[in-house]
Structure 1
Amino acid sequence: MLIDNESLYLYNITLKRPSYAISSVTGQFSGTKKVQEICIATSLTIELWRPNIDTGKLDKICVHNVFSVIQSLEKVRLTGSQKDYLVVTSDSGKLAILQYDTGRNRLVTVFQEPHSKTGFRRNTPGPYLLTDPQNRAILIGALERNKLIYKVHSDDKGGMQISSPLESQIRHTITLAMCALDTGYENPVFVAIEAEYGALDSKEYSIDSQAHQTLLFTSYELDQGLNHVVRRVVNNKLPISATHLIPLPSPVGGVLICCESYAIYERFDYKRLYLPFPIRQGTENTVIINHVFQKFKKSNYLILAQTQLGDCLKFSLHYNDEREQLDDITVSYFDTIPVSNSLNILRSGFLFANTAHGNKLFYQFEKLGEEDNDLTLRCSDHYEQMTTIDHSKREFKPKGLENLALVDVMDSLNPVTDATLLETRMSESPDPLINLVTLSSRFIKILTHGMPVNQLVTSPLPIHPSLIFTTKKFNESVNDDYLVISSELSSQTLVLSIGEVVEEVSDSEFVTNQPTIHVQQTGKSSIVQVFSNGIRSIRHIKNGDEEIKKTTDWYPPAGISVIKASGNNTQLIIGMSNREVCYFEIDSADDQLIEYQERLEVSGGSISSLAILSSKDPEKRSSHAIIGSSDETIQVVSLKRHNCLSIVALQALSSKSTSILMINHNDSVYVHIGMENGLYVRTMIDEVSGKLSDTRIKFLGSKSVRLSPIKVPGNSGEENGILALSSRPWYGYFAEGRFKLSPLINCSLTHGTSFYAEDISGEGIVGISESNLVILTIGSSDDDVSDDTKGSFKDDFTSREVKLRYLPKKMIIENNTEENNRSWIYVLESESGIRAPFIPTKLAEGEEIIDNTDDKAIDQDYYDVFGYEHKNGSWASCIQVFDYKLNKIVKTIEFSNDERILSSCEIKFNSSDSSSYLIVGTTRNSFDKNAKHYLYTFKVAGSRNSSHSQKGQKTLLFIHKTESEFAPLAMIEFNNRLLIGTKNLLRLYDIGHKQLLRKASSSIDYFENIIKLAYMGGNRIMAADASMSSTFVKYDQVENQFFPLADDVMKRKITSMCPLDYDTIVGGDKFGNVFVSRIPEFLSKQVDQDWGLIRHQDSYLNGAASRLKNLCEFYSGDIPTSFSKGSLILGSEESIFYTGLMGTVGALIPLVTKNEVQFFIELEAELRSYFDYNFDNFDEQKNGHNLLGKDHLKHRSYYNPVKNVIDGDLIERFSEVSYNNKIRIANKLDRTPKDIDKKISEIRNRSAF
């Protein structure tokens, strides 16, 4: 492949998957009796979660990127089986049936039945996916015309089989809702709300306001005897407000048709019943948006339905078993939870709320609402009888949770409306911390790569500690018994017992008048203490209730001291000041140390570090030892009996090694090396030859790196990890097929080690922070309600959130050049359809903005739970100032009702002092033809209010308000002036005493609405239209006009963009495409050097005179809302980070060499072939599972062909490839599998993690 020198190649990786879930379903997917899982489908991923009944938390089982856009999700089960299968429809044009493979901990494909072309069309089946309650049939329906029904049955071997589809086609009919009825042993029946538009589509159609005010209620019956689908239309039509269907369980049967503020009970052989809904106080109607049904033992069941405001209603059926007749239906208010896309009830008594916005919630049922309700409504036979009920008798006031209790929160980022990279400094570390600040669903969420810690104990120590160790006395013990603290400064050792109370031990038999170098539990019941003048072995012998301690000492030659040591349960190795290494083994009979007669003298320098394999398994011996010396080398020494203490390998380093660990993972042994220059190295050692290979390097901080082994709690047993301490502590562990290093947030340690105690519910870390003893666990505390930092073990990001007043739209980072004075983020918030209870802020020219004292009397918690008062056509807006150093909102500017914030920027005007100004563009009565538009000017200054709690702090002064002719949709600072985009105009403003002064106005003829502006440098900007994509624009100072230079090669609906350099920009559109465009090099030079020659060029094809060069094109699957240049890791290379509306966080990493580009292009092609979309030719020995059967190339080329972007998400699936196929792929690339793994790891760690 020929690679152009001027081409830009990017490597896309997803750092945080989208969190907006379109559907969720519960089932026994693992096939384990009485164990249910929750399957959550986002647009691009399928996640499997399992509730932990003991803790009430949700544990993630597996996550799969399906490289397809998911439409619907359901479950199906074979008769007589206890395992559920997943049924998925997507844009692949195939019906996919998946099952969970417990052995491999992943989903695998069972069937892929093609039914239509790829992509979404209104007549493509998939939006509606239903399964018969008796698991006999699956229906997939389109929005219009087509419906397919598959019969489900088992084959001779008990496996699942599905028949060819039976089709039903009805032209000129739109399907609005569908559900499957519970018909018992009768034929499967599916019902739908449909609308006919044939008359509207015909030429003879005449407008009649009453002719099309009804909907059709239809049924689709699968006649199993004739193998045919029968469609029936019920004679009684439905009102136009019918939107939702709730099937009722057998033997009641039938369906509730939910309309506006009431429901119709429909059963084909039974008269209709009308059920009024309770209506929330202050609202006009109740609309049902989803429901959940759960059947319990002994014919008990629970039916909950959720309204558009989040209120849950409980339906009760009064069925007469003797007469086999439904006597009554009642509905009552149950509880209020956030509006959800789907609700799921588990048999263990939990409710999962798949919320439409923000975090997903997991509740436990406290009761079923069976007590007397203040408001219970009954059904009636006649519609007129229902409508005569007084509105006040149907009203209810929402209350706090009474029947449900919140037990877990699943952190979700959606919807992300804006984001930026922000560098901050923490007191715990001298190195800056890079955060991704996002606006998400009435919150500022600050994402930081790393894990939060929960600090349990902080206690001062009587000595100045340098090292800390934990150990147990007996090998079979679970908890650690001793905590050993060593001090080099005071040359002593402190031994503490671990129990309900941590206290000093006086009879431990440890040598306490010398600093301890190493502590190790050996044999069955011994502890080895290595100190500077020797070794002491303490054996613990149980004699009834009494415990006898026997000690054995070993001393080095006179004048020689021990400086380094390492050991495991059966081996011990020490390094001495004369550069000699002594090796010991533990006698399994009496736990005594047996010294190997020969010693190794290390050449090249003093011993700086030492390690053998860390293992508490007596059967696992270390075959080699690693010795680091001061001459910046490490030596691999054999510990095998035939060549013990022989040097088998030598490796040079870039700096002196300060700490070494050897840890095994699966069947491999890894050597972890911490160096003096802050670098961390991980390499693999061959247990036979001792050869080092597959080396990975990472910069951890400005201080030398010290390593400690850590036990990581895994899904099965325990995994080995590391604690790496530099200027910031890091936590290393294996997860998702690769080794991860994550910093610990809000934590400062100089030394630490693993710590196990039942009092802290398992594994923790005990460490030294300054002169204090610290005990902590990883993950945020569930009990600490005041702690806004959220995160759990093995999460890539820790989130810290601050509550906002309304939905945030955009944020402006303060651009103060003095770092100490830069701490503000201006958040623009606007929300439609609500009326706020807050009083607008008083704005007086030249006066300081003071927060309204009346706002404190407003119960904000009530509005957070139940929402604001709803009013159609109304807007509520405010600006809140967030101080990220104080982590709180410091100022709020509330605008009047019906005023909407459109844009804002911070600017320093040339014609004024050096002060910064905040300009805010608004529109009032935006739904009215007589809408007015304003530009508010605020000045950032020191507080002049004498009553201010901290006089002299920054504050905002209101300067003036300027009326604008059109809505100011975009604004930026341009050469110390204000540039505004409004309609197709670019207008330049300067500051004035009474208002902003317009200095220039230019129009771009082919634009309609300028919605984005970006400053490129010099006199050049980038302007983006709502539907005409982006254009490079130059400002001519002589003519005081803006002139378009070059526009995009295609029309795009731009959502976000960011300049990469003077000539290049990255952007995204509302269809999920990410693109990079560049102005041609010759044109860029002409514009700067020979502007007069091209100034008067004519426009071309309703656009600019020239076109931009399209460098990259990629379909991300989420609507891009922000782009930022930078890095998430200190010292790494600059890349492009983007966020998506549904919660995606991704990175576009530049590829720097042709060899690198060629390698990833070839690897991507091989993996596309391996994960082939054609399931008919699937061979598990040669192929991997493409779960939904979508061609990867088509997926990434959804709207435009993918260009110059490598899909890192597909590349990282190389870890899923079987070993034989890894070798086959590597041979084609002329590499080894380890080389490929290393290359994938390096490209990811280049700018991210």
Structure 2
Amino acid sequence: MDDRKSYVVTAHKPTSVSHSVVGRFTGASDVNLVLAKTTRVEIHLLTPEGLTPVHDVAIYGRITMLEVFRPPSSPVDLLFVCTQRHQFCVLAYDPATKSIVTRAQGNIRDPIGRMSDVVTSGNIDPEGRLIGMNLYEGYFKVIPMDASGKLSDAFNIRMDELRVIDVKFLFGCAKPTIAVLYEDQKGRHVKTYVVLAKERELAEGPWSQSHVESSANLLIPVPAPAGGVLIVSQQMIVYHNGSTCHAISMQSTIIQVYGQVDRDGSRFLLADQFGLLQVVALQRNKDVVTGIALEVLGETSIASTLSYLDNGVVFVGSATGDSQLVKLLPARDTTTGSYLEVLDAYVNIGPIVDFVVMDLDRQGQGQVVTCSGAYKDGSLRIIRNGIGINEQAATELPGIKGMWALRMSFAADQDAYLVQSFVSETRVLGFSTDGDDGDVELAEHEIQGLNPSKTLLCRNVLGDAWLQVTEFDVRLIACATSAVLATWKAPGRITVAAANPSQAVVAIAGGVLIYFEIDGAQLHLVAETRMAHEIACLDISPPTSDTKSVDGRHWETRLPKASRVVVGLWSELSVSLLSLPSLALETKQLLGGDVLPRSLLTIAFESVAHLLVGMGDGTLLVFTLAHDGSLAPLKRISLGTQPILLSAFRSKDVLHVFAASDRPTVIYSSNGKLHFSNVNAKEVSVMCAFDSPALPDCLALASPDELTLGTIDDIQKLHVQSVPLHEWPRRLAHDPVSHTLGVTTIKYTLDETHMEEVEVGYVRLLDDQSFDTLHAYKLDPFEIGCAIVSASFDDASRYYCVGTAYVHEEELEPHQGRILVFQVVASKLVLVAEKEVKGAVYCLNAFQNKLLAGINSKTQVYKWSDTDDLEKELVAECGHHGHTLVLFLESRGDFIAVGDLMKSVSLLNYKALDGSVEEVAKDLNSNWMTAIDMLDDDHVLGAEADLNLFCVQRQSGATTDEERARLECVGEFHLGDFVNRFRHGSLVMQPPGATSSLFGTVSGMLGVVLPLDAAQYTFLSRLTSAINKVGKGVGGLLHKDWRMYESKRHVSEAKNFIDGDLVESFLDLPKARMAQVVELLNGDGAMDGSPPVTIDDVMATVEDLAQRH
């Protein structure tokens, strides 16, 4: 049996913010916000309009420290990044190349030493003399730094304190000085030490304070001249500088993060676990602190980081809710009672605790619904691939062959008429006002000068005229009077036409091409030529990225004119570029194959001219177009199976292309790369932009049977919709029959009698289209929902089965739980049965018209049986013991995969005839499981707590019982993120027979796992090796080290997994780098006899993979 090989790739980047800093990184006058999102660094620029993204780079490591600092000799700030594996780098911005460069890098990992129990804490001496970190118990890691920012070798300094809570450098000290908050058997204390770098030791500092508050958890250094430190605990804030001490009490809470407001440290923002934002102000007499004031400002998302930007604007980074840009108000808002105004919000779908894949249209393309966030920031997030059309109006109107919008003048801002062409006629829709109630409606109109026969083209042109091309003539019609200004009678049947505001071309049967220029009310025939074959399609669009030129809306009189016309030919299956006005041949491009070109469009994306060719079989060809008219093939991509009709349109002043077909697609460019996003609409045969007063910014979409007017979503690959719950969603399931979602949640309320937070569990029923809450079922006190599944038994009904646990503080593990069986009746949850069990029901699985449950250490099978009084109940049929805690269950046929708390994965077999469950095989390694997925009868994919993925395989063909009883590990890979759930499904349409799995993580990442065959794996392994040889990662970190499987039990190189993020980075490389990669790839391939490949070959392979997620 061949080992399973997989392709792991990111479908949605991490969104939870763990760190943020403010500095002048990209320029001396720039204000930058730098964010860490697990394994990525984002750099934003503060502008009058808000935050503008500048860079988004992947880091080959999990970021645990992010700081900015400025060496005395530098006009800009540098960025210090440290990872969980204790690799660090210093990054700078190169304005010449507009890229991030590495100034220094290193590894400060020690071969021995116990890791600190608290999260890695570290910071930089305010004078820029050294960097200090608390990584290991009893040691303080120091990296000396000179005035230029150059780092020296790191070393450890011994500390007496073992359990360190926090370490901060103090301001205004002649030598680097740290304050240490630590805990011993007598309580918590604060000590200061002078760091003697040359002697590599700590000397006693200027002051210490024994027995601070037992809940003290945070030190905030105060800048000079006041100096000192704020010691923050749950009920008190204390200022201490060795000679002065002031304190202020506050309502009990846990302050998680702080942010400095003023440069002199007069004010600090504090954010607690409930999302409450407070400001602490130091009252001063000259340079001496005389008191502390504290005020509540308002509520935000629960913050993981705070960064004060400028002019009262604060960035609130969150790991459990949306991050926010908040304005501090000078006075309390009388409506909200808050000093805060939310200026903007940034989507965060982390942590993804659970999710389901819903294929509502049953087309193989799902949308993901996640349990996201935590506590009050909990929500459901609906994530779908492609671009949605928000329907404004629709009518049954079959047979539309062409569609164009007309304005009442060339300079008019909005459209007045929608012209539709049918097989033998033309109709016009326009707006009219209902005389009774004044409503505006779209109704059929008549334009006197318009030829009522089939229209091939209609549009606004210069001179406030409409141009109409039919099979028999070309005419100009006055916009104001509808009078015909000029007519040209065709000598034969016109088959196809194209135009821009001042030029037009028509093709006449027999391959005749005629070129017109439009001047005022005149139609001038300029040139004529005969092509070698019949003309299939035409385009005369000037390749401009000026969006107001797309459909003629331009307020300047000098519009760009096309310098060439593009002609697609029958028989020869070619595209020719003819220069204007002579119609002389510039370039001919044979398309190959046996499929006709059906649509052409010349367009510039980000100032790069492209020629798009839509083929009759749903294939799109993309060429780059040089100034001399030469074409360079860029890519060939299959968008659908029906002919493609290309149309340019604008959305939010950015140019895009709509490819109408059986799988409509929007084509757009970002960072120099073309992107293709599916439109979430059924077959579209014709599209045109239709921006009218009654229906602004709409698109008109014609399908074979219907006309739809609607607005389009933001142009991006994935769209996220939020359904706020203000509770913590824990588990969810989807029932396609009742069109509902079942969600278990935890609501946190305050018991005002005991001033304690109380958890209340609910099972909620939501509509799977509107996501409105239909019903809520309240669980017992101390009971929380741990699992939910939509299931059917051996009757005709559908049920939601919910597994619960009664959680008491005095119990290490719950000893009591229930399985509740609900039926959806009239949009309500009706409890039809319940089963008390001895333990927590951690997982449930619908299994052969039975119910599979993981209850503490046991796997149990329940059947649905009749009671004596003709009711239904769950009856235990059989089970299997021998686990620590059964956290995850997946089934396939008679096989059951079990994910254990610490005993990795085991495979069970259910024997229906015997009514028993037996263990078939198990992984002998000790893995602390976080999620599992049963890929097939022989392979189980697992995620474990050290942030690795692995795949185990059943040895069904082994010759000994011992080998058959062991699950062999055949794949290992370090993901660097905590996976909470795998689900089968896809966000995009998959090829027939293709399978894929999705996974969701704590950071808000959505990932995809795709199977690879042996040939694909070999090629992609060589490709990743070549890419790694051409360039290192940001900060000089090595990809090979990053993806190395590392757990507490062993370390090994990744095997049988391909990093799709690295593979697809090939598409973003400059051409010179691509050539280097391909040269190395061919060099490696020659060794094993593989045929050589080109850049286009590699791009096509990688793009095919990218399209699958």
Judge same fold: TM > 0.5, yes or no: yes
Q: Does the Cα contact within 8 Å between 1:836 and 1:876 map onto a contact in 2?
A: no
CA distance 1:1054–1:935, shift in 2 (3 Å): same
| Aligned-residue offset at 1:1152 | 3.4
2:289 matches 1:358: no
| Aligned-residue offset at 1:418 | 1.2
Match of residue 217, structure 2, among 240, 243, 246: 243
Q: Which amino acid aligns with 1:340?
A: A
Structure 2: give runs of 5+ residues left out of the alignment: 433-439, 550-557, 1083-1091
2:939 matches 1:965: no
2:890 matches 1:1014: yes
| Aligned-residue offset at 1:917 | 3.8
Q: In the alignment, what sits opposite 2:227?
A: 253
Q: In the alignment, what sits opposite 1:840?
A: none
Structure 1: give runs of 5+ residues left out of the alignment: 197-210, 280-284, 372-398, 541-546, 780-791, 838-866, 944-952, 1087-1093, 1173-1184
Counterparts in 2 of 1:359-758, with a 5 A limit? Answer: 359-367=322-330, 400=336, 402-425=338-361, 434-441=366-373, 442-452=378-388, 466-469=402-405, 480=413, 485-489=418-422, 490-491=425-426, 517-518=456-457, 530-536=469-475, 553=486, 555-558=488-491, 560-568=492-500, 572-584=504-516, 593=524, 595-600=526-531, 602-603=533-534, 607=536, 614-615=543-544, 621=562, 625-627=566-568, 629=570, 633-639=573-579, 644-645=584-585, 648-652=588-592, 656-665=596-605, 669-676=609-616, 678-684=618-624, 693-700=633-640, 704-711=643-650, 720-727=655-662, 729-745=664-680, 751-753=686-688
Q: Which amino acid aligns with 1:1239?
A: T
2:903 matches 1:974: no
CA distance 1:126–1:522, shift in 2 (3 Å): farther
Q: In the alignment, what sits opposite 1:1165?
A: 1025
CA distance in 2, matches of 1:264, 1:340: 22
| Aligned-residue offset at 1:412 | 0.7
Match of residue 1223, structure 1, among 1048, 1051, 1075: 1075
Query: Which secondary structure state, in structure 2, belongs to the residue aligned with residue 1118 of structure 1?
Result: coil
Q: In the alignment, what sits opposite 1:1139?
A: 1000
Q: In the alignment, what sits opposite 1:1113?
A: 972
Q: Does the Cα contact within 8 Å between 2:1024 and 2:1063 map onto a contact in 1?
A: yes
Q: In the alignment, what sits opposite 2:1087?
A: none
Q: Does the Cα contact within 8 Å between 2:618 and 2:644 map onto a contact in 1?
A: yes
| Aligned-residue offset at 1:1115 | 1.6
CA distance 1:1035–1:275, shift in 2 (3 Å): same
| Aligned-residue offset at 1:1067 | 2.2
Q: In the alignment, what sits opposite 1:1206?
A: 1058
Counterparts in 2 of 1:25-40, with a 5 A limit? Answer: 25-31=21-27, 33=29, 35-40=30-35
Q: Does the Cα contact within 8 Å between 1:565 and 1:574 map onto a contact in 2?
A: yes
Query: Which secondary structure state, in structure 1, belongs to the residue aligned with residue 841 of structure 2?
Result: coil
| Aligned-residue offset at 1:871 | 3.7
| Aligned-residue offset at 1:74 | 1.2
Q: Does the Cα contact within 8 Å between 1:26 and 1:346 map onto a contact in 2?
A: yes
2:818 matches 1:935: yes
CA distance in 2, matches of 1:811, 1:585: 63
Q: Which amino acid aligns with 2:488?
A: Y
CA distance in 1, matches of 2:314, 2:165: 27
Q: In the alignment, what sits opposite 1:206?
A: none
Q: Does the Cα contact within 8 Å between 2:862 and 2:878 map onto a contact in 1?
A: no
The CA deviation string for residues 1110-1136 of structure 1, in whole angstroms up to 9 with x for no partner, is 232222111222222233223533222
CA distance in 2, matches of 1:110, 1:764: 48
Q: Does the Cα contact within 8 Å between 1:435 and 1:1128 map onto a contact in 2?
A: yes
| Aligned-residue offset at 1:143 | 4.7
2:189 matches 1:314: no
CA distance 1:672–1:255, shift in 2 (3 Å): same
CA distance in 2, matches of 1:579, 1:112: 65
CA distance in 2, matches of 1:564, 1:191: 79
Q: Does the Cα contact within 8 Å between 1:575 and 1:610 map onto a contact in 2?
A: no
2:95 matches 1:111: no
| Aligned-residue offset at 1:96 | 1.6
Total equivalences in the alignment:
1060
TM-score between both structures, scaled by the size of structure 1: 0.76
Q: Does the Cα contact within 8 Å between 1:754 and 1:766 map onto a contact in 2?
A: yes
CA distance in 1, matches of 2:113, 2:284: 43
Match of residue 1034, structure 1, among 878, 894, 909: 909
Q: Does the Cα contact within 8 Å between 1:579 and 1:607 map onto a contact in 2?
A: no
TM-score between both structures, scaled by the size of structure 2: 0.85
CA distance 1:222–1:288, shift in 2 (3 Å): farther
| Aligned-residue offset at 1:592 | 7.2
The CA deviation string for residues 794-835 of structure 1, in whole angstroms up to 9 with x for no partner, is 3x2212333336322222232xxxx6x34122222346xx45
CA distance in 2, matches of 1:811, 1:153: 55
CA distance 1:908–1:38, shift in 2 (3 Å): same
| Aligned-residue offset at 1:1192 | 3.0
| Aligned-residue offset at 1:652 | 4.8
CA distance in 2, matches of 1:596, 1:932: 89
CA distance 1:1147–1:514, shift in 2 (3 Å): same
Q: Which amino acid aligns with 1:275?
A: I
CA distance in 1, matches of 2:1026, 2:686: 45
CA distance 1:1148–1:334, shift in 2 (3 Å): same
Query: Which secondary structure state, in structure 2, belongs to the residue aligned with residue 361 of structure 1?
Result: strand
CA distance in 1, matches of 2:569, 2:722: 44
CA distance in 1, matches of 2:483, 2:75: 58
CA distance 1:214–1:483, shift in 2 (3 Å): same
2:707 matches 1:825: no
Q: In the alignment, what sits opposite 1:885?
A: 769
Q: In the alignment, what sits opposite 1:46?
A: 41
Match of residue 981, structure 2, among 1122, 1127, 1133: 1122
CA distance in 2, matches of 1:1139, 1:467: 43
Q: Does the Cα contact within 8 Å between 2:58 and 2:1034 map onto a contact in 1?
A: no
Match of residue 1040, structure 2, among 1192, 1206, 1216: 1192
Moved more, 895-904 or 170-179: 170-179
| Aligned-residue offset at 1:242 | 1.8
Q: In the alignment, what sits opposite 1:201?
A: none
CA distance in 2, matches of 1:556, 1:133: 82
CA distance 1:220–1:154, shift in 2 (3 Å): closer
CA distance in 1, matches of 2:583, 2:14: 55
The CA deviation string for residues 719-749 of structure 1, in whole angstroms up to 9 with x for no partner, is 6420123356432101244321223457997
The CA deviation string for residues 504-556 of structure 1, in whole angstroms up to 9 with x for no partner, is 9999997566665445777899986545444456999xxxxxx9999974624
Alpha-carbon RMSD across the aligned residues, in angstroms, is 4.5
Match of residue 288, structure 1, among 226, 233, 255: 255
The CA deviation string for residues 101-137 of structure 1, in whole angstroms up to 9 with x for no partner, is 4555543222224434599962799922323445555
Query: Which secondary structure state, in structure 2, belongs to the residue aligned with residue 1114 of structure 1?
Result: strand
Q: Does the Cα contact within 8 Å between 1:470 and 1:480 map onto a contact in 2?
A: no
